[in-house]
Amino acid sequence: MMANNISGKKVAFLLTNGVEQAELTEPWKAVQEAGGQPVLVSPEEGQITAMKGDWEYGDTFTVDQQLSQAKADDFDAIVLPGGTLNADKMRLESEAVALVRAFAEAGKPISAICHAPWLLIEADLVKGRHMTSYASLESDLKNAGANWVDEEVVTDRGLTTSRNPGDLKAFCSKMLEEISEGQHSEV
């Protein structure tokens, strides 16, 4: 997984309270081990609380940058961890929708796992895309025009998607590959 060196690359992790802990911590660790700089971006101030599944509280994590201050120009890629509560709240944040859209317009890699593709739907970035997600989002993605498949990780023009925490190894590997490739003509 660590064949892709992303030294010097700054990666935004966009999330809020209720994020699935493993979907934050495993990609974060992968970015660090590959030489990148992960930055926790959130609409919250101070700290956020993760979840383990949707029922058990996880650890707290310090917010590095307020969403209102985040700009796609300041980062090389963005990671959207899942978790039902996190993803549901983030898709309602107009600044989050605008930020993800800006990454796509700049051709910068976007990686989303589990329920995070809800934000991609809201940003109107899924039509005609080959994607996967948590199984309960299949209809949502298809209704928004995506070609949904049940695979552990799918990449389409710099947009990487994955199903759930069980797919994290494949997700992290593909995420790092896309970040190391850099900007794409269209995400």
pLDDT per residue as tens digits for the range 100-156? 999 999 999 999 999 999 999 999 999 999 999 999 999 999 999 999 999 999 999
Q: For the segment 36-53, what is each residue's pLDDT rounded down to a tens digit?
A: 999 999 999 999 999 998
Q: Please check whether the domain covering 10-181 is classified as CATH 3.40.50.880.
A: yes
Q: What is the pTM of this model?
A: 0.96
- Tell which residue, 33, 18, 21, has the closest CA to residue 175: 33
**CA distances (Å), 18 to each of 87, 93, 122, 127, 131, in order?**
8, 15, 19, 27, 23
Please give the positions annotated as active site: 114-115
List the chain domain ranges.
10-181
